[in-house]
Amino acid sequence: MEHSSLRRMFIFLANVGLASACGSPPETSTPIECTASETQTCTGESGCLGYQKCQEGGAWQTSCVCFPPENCQNSVDDDNDGLRDCDDADCSDSICIPQLPDAEPVFLFYLAPPGASEDQLPDCPWGGETLSVAPYVIPPAACPQCFCNLPSDVKKEAAIQFYLGAGCTQLIETNLATADSCFPTSSSPQVVSVRFTPKVQPGNCDLESNGSVLRPPLEFSSLAKSCWFKDIGYCQSGTCVEPPSPPFEICRYRDGDVDCPEPFTKRAVVYNSLSFTDTRDCTPCSCGPYTVNLYAGFYTDFDCMDSYFGVDVDGLCHDASGILLGSSVIQSQGFDCTLTAPMPTGDVTLPAPRTVCCLTM
């Protein structure tokens, strides 16, 4: 290659290098406006307060998305004006329930008038429970009725003794007579005194018991309904809720039977109706030994037809002088028995009380 040709090539290459260093204009590129995940507020087409997100490539969204209206029961500043729920003027229809120390969250409460039954209570809009309101009375168990009966197989008999002398002297005849059967007297008419001694086998009465132990329901001042709020919001001084629909009020619980400080001036002490422990019962009833009361009737004939006179079958000596004795009958006139009646025992244990503190509105 000639020297001049080498020189032209060098100049060409030098020019190419110069052109690439500063000769051609730069390509057009989008300016970086934002970084990913960044958002900014903006004004939407309707004039609403909204936001734009940073797109890939570092440019803001062209459209402005309006913030949602303030939801007053979600503890979020939905419309991004710096105020949450009840603290936002958009929630003027909701109410801020102040805090109460040592209290549970707010709930809806309905105190029924005395005597109202459970099915007269209003339904909860969302869910809840039935409560029993103090003061209360715990009726004792109603015990079954008990009776003592003379056993049907008791033999009612008496020893009959006739005497020729007064004061039961000179015994002339001894017999064992069964109740309700006529017993002819062979010693008539010489008998001057008589002694009838009961001969009844000893034993206890039979027990008869009617019914079972009844446990009457507790008598409370009234019933109440407690309902949960579906959603509860925020306010700086407490809790943001929707106003209650009649007949409900807004209340808070405190454990125990305690005071309700201002402004919770309405108060009730309540118990969960399902948490009672009932140990009410009755002692057993029982019957003691029986005593049969026998009576002896005397007759002038031998067939117990013509009643004449009578004496108690008591083992004592009875005067029979001047009496024509033809026959006699032992008769039962009832019995005595000691009944040990059942006694109510046990009690009802209630769960720990809760105090309902309601806002006076």
Tell me, what amino acid is at 148? C
Q: Both ends of the chain: CA-CA distance in Å?
A: 109
- Nearest to residue 290, comparing CAs of 337, 329, 353? 337
Structure tokens at 235: 């306010």
86 vs 296, beta carbon nearer Ca ion:
86
Q: Residue numbers of the site for Ca ion (CB under 5 A)?
A: 70-71, 74, 76-79, 81, 83, 85, 88
**Residue 27 Cβ vs Ca ion, minimum distance, rounded to whole Å:** 46
Q: Report, in Å, the least distance between residue 126 CB and Ca ion.
A: 19
Tell me: cis bond preceding 247? Omega within 30 of 0 counts. yes
* β 169-178/156-165 pair status: antiparallel
Q: Which is nearer to Ca ion, 54 or 64 (CB)?
A: 64
Tokens of 71: 């939801």
Question: Is 132 or 239 the residue whose CB approaches Ca ion more closely?
Answer: 239
> Residue of minimal CB distance from Ca ion?
88
Cβ proximity to Ca ion: between 59 and 76 the closer is 76
CA distances (Å), origin 159, targets 148, 162, 173: 27, 10, 10
Measured between alpha carbons, how far is 141 from 344 in angstroms, rounded to an integer?
A: 5
Taking the complex as a whole, how short is the minimal distance between the CB of residue 234 and Ca ion, in angstroms? 7
Least distance to Ca ion, CB of residue 100, Å: 22
Instruction: Judge contact between 52 and 42, C-beta under 8 A.
Output: yes
Query: For residues 77 and 301, which CB has a smaller minimum distance to Ca ion in the complex?
Result: 77
φ, ψ of residue 16 to 5 degrees: the values are: -60, -45
Please, what is the minimum distance in Å from the beta carbon of residue 252 to Ca ion? Answer: 21
Q: Closest CB to Ca ion among 85 and 242?
A: 85
CB of 49 to Ca ion, least distance (A): 10
Phi, psi at residue 15, to the nearest 5°?
Answer: -65, -40
